[in-house]
Each structure stands twice: as C-alpha cells, then as structure tokens.
Amino acid sequence: MTGTRHFRLAWFVAIVSVLLAVAGCGTSRNGSSSSTTITPSAGGTTGGSLPSLQHVAVIMLENQNYSTVVGSSSMPFFNSEIKQGALATNYFANAHPSLPNYFALTTGQTLVTQDASGTQNVDNVVRVLSAAGKSWKGYFQSLPSTGYMGLDVPPYIKHHNPFAYFSDVLNSSSQQQNVVNLTQLGVDAGANQLPNYVFIVPDDAHSGGECPGGGTACTNDQKIVAADGFLRDTVNTLMSSTSFQQSGVIVVVWDEANESDTSNGGGHIAMLLLGTRVKAGLQSGTFLQHPSVLRFTLQALGVNSFPGNASSATELGGFFQ
C-alpha cells in the first residue's frame, strides 16, 4: 500500500503542476471539478502525443458490460480509480467469445471464432517486442507451472492465455519461461525487475466472468466484487515497484461484454488507463477497440512495428499529458 500512496502523491503533484501552468485546462484527481472530455474522432488519433515509458501493464478482466461496472457500488476500487485515470467511454470488444479478443490485443487480429485454436504463426506482440530488444512476461493466476502450455487446469483457463498459441513461444523454451504464475508479479515488482511489457490475467474465480467460488450459483455482483478485489491487489503490487511508479502505465480492460451485447462485434466494455502521465479524470468518447491498446503498448515502449490491425488503429495520445 505504501507504493500506491507514493504513486498517488506523484499523480497529484503532476496534476497540480498542469493546473498552475494552464489555468482551467486541467482536471482534479479528487473529482471536485468536471472531467475533461475528448469528443469522438473521425480519424486515427485522439490527439496529443504518447509518453515514452519503461513499463506498460495490461490487466484483463472478463465478460462484463460497460454499464455493469462503471458506477457500480460492487466495484469500489475500479470506480475510485476512474477519478484518477482516463476512461474510454466508447470502447468495444472485437468479437465473442473470449479468445478472439485476446488475439486482437496481442496480434491485432481476432484469428478465430471460438475459444480454441491451433498454433498461430502470425505477427504478434512477442515477436515484435523481442525483435526490438524489449522484455515481456505473461502473469497468469493459478498457472500450474512456469512455461505451462497445456490445456485447462481450472481455475486456470488456456484460452485466456494467448501466448500458449504463438509459434514464437511454443517453439522456444526460453520464451516459455516468460509465461509465469501471478505470484511472480510480487517478486518482480519488489525487486524492481518488472519487464517492459506486462500482461496479467486472473483465474476464473477472480476474472469477473465466473462465480468466485467455482460454482454456478452466484449473482453478477458477486462476480464483479471478486474482480474488483483482484484488480485492487494487482494495481497495488505493480505500484510497489519504484520504476513502475515513475515510468509505467496500467491498462485495465475487459475481453468482451456479456454475449447478449454484440454491438461492434463484442459489445460495449470499459477501458481505463492509470499512470502519472495520464490525464486524470479524462473521459474519451472516441470509438476504440482492442487493436488500439496493442498499438499503444508498443508505441509507448518505443516499438514501431504493429501487428495486424494495430498498424491502422486509433492512437491514444489524447489520453496523456
């Protein structure tokens, strides 16, 4: 928790500096003033310029509509962070079910129409990060062992792990060592050894898509309470790293909406950016989908090769100071 307080203090100082420099153009992190809004863009940018970062972390949650999480009293941590982060209000998943969206976030393409796939040899985030000399890890809650490429071992679910399908990982024992259990996140953060690209996935009991007890008899509120607790603990762990506090951004995003919402492919979902360079309190109505997050994660790390539809995806510069 200490790391989180320091992070938030840094956030506050940065925002106050902007307010003093440009009167009336900033936003208050405590929500006392109205938030800035980016109007929908007809082009390929939200305006502004992207920061240069040492770390980008993507935290994936599951199967919830925008309307069920934004403003929900069952997700108090997530909603408190909206005041301090930048929220995309017009963000849509690319498809149903889950796996096509995980691929969209890591290859810029949906590739499949179901939660199953053979080996994928397409351009992907691992390939371009490695070619650029950037480090990466996937942190998966309940992963049976480091480098595990096998089938489901509930509550670990394979189709929530896109790296388990990439030829770049399947054909490389060294790359497989970058697929680790979530417990390694605390170790790496505590030692200030987080990789440049961090991909974090809860197990089925904490994702927000299934019942926390592993059964089928629970309310949707119970699902998102579990997801909110996971999110709180994970954000706090990331912020215990001094290097991440100073030069890191977190992307919190859902894979897809409830399957009854098929708008724009995968339904209306929330995406929130957190970090000292983010415009606190900003809400953007620009239409966005998963390839924009992929493009952002690479651009912010100084990588200029964009897989699939990330090459033409809308940039997120307007979300940053």
The CATH number linked to 53 is 3.40.720.10
Model confidence at 240: pLDDT above 60: yes
**pLDDT (tens digit, 9 = 90+) per residue, 16-29?**
333 333 333 333 33
pTM over 0.85: yes
* Domain residue limits at 172: 2-319
- According to the model, what pLDDT value does residue 7 have? 44
Residue 295 contacts residue 306 (beta carbons within 8 Å): yes
Model confidence at 10: pLDDT above 90: no
Q: What pLDDT band is residue 46 in, cutting at 50, 70 and 90?
A: low
Residue 75 contacts residue 224 (beta carbons within 8 Å): yes
How many residues are given for the chain? 321
Q: Return the H-helix or E-strand segment holding 80.
A: helix 76-82
DSSP string, 243-275: HHHHHEEEEEEES---TT--TTTT-EEEEEEES
Model confidence at 224: pLDDT above 70: yes
Residue 14 contacts residue 321 (beta carbons within 8 Å): yes
If one counts the domains in the chain, the total is 1
